[in-house]
Structure 1
């Protein structure tokens, strides 16, 4: 993917505020910033979805939320209910977290089944599958990425940013090689500068999740 203008960069940024102490005022600020810069989305915890959807209505900025966040360690049925709730509340993109222990314990089969079940609920709304790559081997990253692709997911995503290590160029490149060009790859977790964002894009990411979207835009020089 090539990003050659500030508008092109803004269009791949998910302006993300998932911290547990986010206030209504914080959420409103992020929405205003996303509208100002025409970011891809504002990504928030489920409780904030109705507020964000109302603030962004009629704009090009999408409302993104999460399911199974941040651990992924819950039954599929609970992720289904969470997904249904955020979609009903106005979300039009969802980032779900896989069960990492399941992947490590029994393999990628159940991961694919879960992704397929959730994608059925999402319909045309993009579903991004968070792998938490810092906790996985390369073989596990490949297996989970392929399972997500076969199940119909729209993106594979590196990280929640709730572990010690977030996105890496190496993980992004591996995910891109694995899923090919027809599927999205989202880099998220620890991306704090324009240079880091561009490195992820050059490695194959076509969506960037960051809480520092405005700072990235102000650093950009095209």
Structure 2
């Protein structure tokens, strides 16, 4: 697969706790230059970022991040605030403890409420696959499908592991036909990116692919 086509599926990401505006701006400039799907950045920078790119690059941000145990009311408020500030896409973290407790109706209701708060913008639901059993992953595919979210996402990148080929293949098998898959966390090469896409991922959350391209241009 052509590298430009792969980059068009990338949410170019910077979510480090110590991220500065200068670093965020570089992510935005790179996203614009290499035509990534979006730039995924902390919510505190969304308004400034949206003004900076002036509609030329979708701005994605994270909700209930990274642990997912904010109350539903807080997640809904965060989402509405992000959308009002110019976010085009929302990546929310589920309450993983509720999944472990089999409080599935509450998990689904929360996703529905956040999806409603997105006002038609894209919602990606992070299920943190490294903390779930295969049975729980399959259940979350069902819940995300029923809740109407546009994407199911593997990982925050802040837990014990990121995306795996096995998890993406499992999700592709069990998610509904209208739900896309985002693989995130630990994607470090174009070869891995291409394999994730082959297995069914429509989006990739990473910053490393752009860094690889930039390094290659520097060496030329």
Count residues in correspondence: 216
Counterpart among 28, 32, 40 of residue 31 in structure 1: 28
1:5 shift after superposition: 2.4
RMSD across aligned positions (CA): 1.5
Give the match for residue 129 of structure 1.
Answer: 125
Give the match for residue 109 of structure 1.
Answer: 105
What is the TM-score when the length of structure 1 is the normalising length?
0.93
Cα distance in 1 for residues equivalent to 2:130 and 2:162: 7
Query: Do structure 1's residue 211 and structure 2's residue 207 form an aligned pair?
Result: yes
* Structure 1 SS opposite 2:55: coil
Please, which runs of 5 or more residues in structure 2 have no aligned partner?
A: none
Cα distance in 2 for residues equivalent to 1:107 and 1:190: 30
Q: Check whether the contact 2:141–2:176 (CA below 8 A) recurs between aligned residues.
A: no
Give the match for residue 5 of structure 1.
Answer: 2
Q: How does 1:91-102 map to 2 (within 5 A)?
A: 91-102=87-98
Cα distance in 1 for residues equivalent to 2:36 and 2:61: 15
1:45 shift after superposition: 0.9
What is the TM-score when the length of structure 2 is the normalising length?
0.94
1:90–1:214: structure 2 CA closer, same or farther, 3 Å change rule?
A: same
Please, which runs of 5 or more residues in structure 1 have no aligned partner?
A: none
1:120 shift after superposition: 0.9
* Structure 1 SS opposite 2:101: helix
Q: In the TM superposition, what whole-angstrom CA distance separates every residue of 1:107-152 from its partner, at most 9, and x where no partner exists?
A: 4221111111111111220000000000000110011111011111
Cα distance in 1 for residues equivalent to 2:200 and 2:212: 18
1:49 shift after superposition: 0.4
1:175 shift after superposition: 0.8
